[in-house]
Amino acid sequence: MEPSPSTDPSLASELLPSGPNGFITFLYYFGFTSLIASVVIAQSLHLDLGTPTPYQYAFIPGIIGGVWGTYFNRSVTLEIKSHQPQNLLANLENKLNELGFTQCQQQDQMWVYSPRLLPSLFMGKIHVLVQENQIRIVGRGIHIQKLQKNYSKESL
């Protein structure tokens, strides 16, 4: 008999998607912000993209874009311990509905919540894994921070 994810933490971590870490997220936002800024700078100052000047000027907007993107969009895991995870899950589902997420998938002990309609293109999904004495939530940093604030104000 195979161990269930609720009893084996190593299997539980395999079920949840980890998402990109902060470094990869930073590189993504830094690269694209720098690229866009260098094209805009080259066009507005009538510079050639073959020279290093537009890229040097685009470095600061790239850093700002990278830090900003990493802060809001990195993948974060939140673990909430409880002796009654099913009650906690019901309260968590209410909080996710308040944030604009609805349940779109359920497999064994894992629930996937996605945003409603058009914002779903930009917001990403939230994955929830229910184990014996805890719930693990994986999502973008900004959404997990909102859940964490709700959790600190009042018990989920």
Least confident of 58-62, 88-92, 94-98, 149-153: 149-153
Name the residue with higher pLDDT: 29 or 101: 29
Q: Do 131 and 109 form a contact (C-beta atoms < 8 A)?
A: yes
User: Is 12 contained in some domain?
Assistant: no
Element (H, E) at 82: none
Verify that 89 and 118 share a domain, yes or no.
yes
- Per the structure, the complete domain to which residue 127 belongs is given by 76-153
Number of domains in the chain: 2
Q: Is residue 1 part of a domain?
A: no
Judge contact between 88 and 134, C-beta under 8 A: no
2 within domain boundaries: no
Q: What is the pLDDT of residues 110-137, one digit of tens each?
A: 888 888 776 656 778 888 888 888 888 8
Please check whether residue 54 is in contact with residue 47, taking contact to mean a CB–CB distance below 8 angstroms.
yes
At residue 44, the pLDDT reads: 95
Q: Over 70: is that where the pLDDT of 86 sits?
A: yes
Task: Tell me whether residue 6 is in a domain.
Answer: no
Does 127 share its domain with 63?
no
At 49, the amino acid letter reads: L
Say how far apart CA 7 and CA 129 lie, in whole Å.
12
Q: Is 34 helix (H, G, I), strand (E, B) or coil?
A: helix
